[in-house]
Amino acid sequence: MCNKCKCGITHKNTGVPGCVSIHTVTARQFLVPKYANDGTLNKVDYGTEITDAFITGKVNESNALDRWYPLAGKFKNVASERAEDRKEEYDDGSSSNVGQGVKNFQGWLLNYPARAKQALDQFGCGEWGVITIDAACNVIGYSEDGVDTYPIYIEEDSWSARFVPGTATTRPKMQINFNWDMSISDANIHVYPSNLVTATNLLSIKGLIDVYSVLATGVAGVEVVSATQVRMRMKSIYGTNITGLLVADLNFNNITTPATFAPTLVTEESEGVYLVTIPAQTTSDVIQPVGSKTQLSFDMLSETTFVAL
């Protein structure tokens, strides 16, 4: 936390106007990378209207560093309290404040599969923040000057996603736990102006589903059928089949001879299994499949390559 006692600054007064938005219990969170793809801090610019289209665009950003990652479901049993200020005590019984206490967040997300930890654990790596949606659909971030709104940063190495199995009397759940970054002060928690929030999907929009291709053996890969056809068995990380892909959803990069080309035909032979017709490439060229479709992420698919016949 920055020094709250600044010299030469006009003292702020204590009056509070009516109809000030006060955030309530956390209902949902969007995980946001601290830094965007261009190296600047991710933020919501002053005056931006947060519409359904804005939220959908953030969730579906093509670059992972510009994307917002909504945690599925609404939080239960939320606790978010700051520990008492840290103090130094002296022999005469007096004491001095030396810094604010740690602020922790903990909450349950119900009916989460254990395999979701593969995605959730990534938020313990690198620098992340959260944009919070409360039970009244307020959008809450961090702003020292009330202008641009930034995510509330997470203390590095404090993120934890713990799977709690269900029992005969309880549901399976994921317990989310992290500390706020020590630079974050409660004094600068910012409730985004409600007149600029018209989005109705804040509590309902889903995060992207990771898509990749597997061989008949279940190992990640693309089956090369001929010089002009490949077979792609499209799966999510949960093992479910990805259906309904069309020609417009897929593309290919020739890594050896840099070029991008589109398939000419995509036929779904069975649920999630696609026979894809492509232009012939030079034998032994390395080809990378890519894709783009709302609510799907093809980042994992792009990690797979195949060799042209």
Q: What is the CATH number of the domain that holds 298?
A: 2.60.40.1220
Residues 214 and 200 in one domain: no
The count of structural domains within the chain is 2
- 168 and 219 in a single domain? The answer is no
Rounded to whole angstroms, the Cα distance separating 204 from 196 reads 19
Q: What is the pLDDT along the chain (309 residues), one digit of tens a residue?
A: 455 666 666 677 767 776 667 788 999 999 999 999 999 999 999 999 999 999 999 999 999 999 999 999 999 999 998 888 888 888 988 888 888 889 999 999 998 899 999 999 999 999 999 999 999 999 999 999 889 999 999 999 999 999 999 999 999 999 999 999 999 999 999 999 989 999 999 999 999 999 999 999 999 999 999 999 999 999 999 999 999 999 999 999 999 999 999 999 999 999 999 999 999 999 999 999 999 999 999 999 999 999 999
**37 and 137 belong to one structural domain:** yes
Q: Is residue 95 part of a domain?
A: no
d(CA 300, CA 59): 17
Cβ atoms of residues 43 and 148 within 8 Å: yes
Residues 235 and 136 in one domain: no
Query: Same domain for 258 and 130?
Result: no
| Together in a domain, 56 and 179 | yes
One domain for residues 82 and 161 = yes
Contacts of 290 (CB under 8 A, 6+ apart): 250, 251, 252, 253, 298, 301, 302
Indicate whether 114 belongs to any domain: yes
Query: Last residue of some domain: 162, 190, 205?
Result: 205
Q: Are residues 242 and 162 in the same domain?
A: no
Q: Are 164 and 175 in contact (CB under 8 A)?
A: yes
Residues 161 and 218 in one domain: no
Same domain membership, residue 77 and residue 179? yes
Can you give the pLDDT at residue 70?
Answer: 97
Task: Give the 3-state DSSP-derived string for the chain, with helices as H, strands as E and coil as C.
Answer: CCCCCCCCCCCCCCCCCCCCCCCCCEEEEEEEECECCCCCECCECCCCCECHHHHHHHHCCCCHHHCCEECCCCCEEEECCECCCEEEECCCCCEEEEECCCEEEEEEEECCCHHHHHHHHHHHCCCEEEEEEECCCCEEEECCCCCCEECEEECCCCCEEEEECCCCCCCCEEEEEEEECCCCCHHHEEECCHHHECCCCCCCCCCCEEEEEECCCCCECCEEEECCEEEEEEEECCCCECCCCCHHHEEEEECCCCEEECCCEEEEEECCEEEEECCCCCCCCEEEEEECECCEECCCHHHCCEECC
Q: Which domain holds residue 272?
A: 210-307
Q: What pLDDT, on a 0 to 100 scale, did the predictor assign at position 9?
A: 65
Instruction: Assess if residue 20 is contained within a domain.
Output: no
Contact criterion met (CB below 8 Å) for 250 and 263: yes
Residue 67 and residue 196 share a domain: yes
Residue 1 lies in a domain: no
Instruction: Judge if 41 and 137 occupy the same domain.
Output: yes
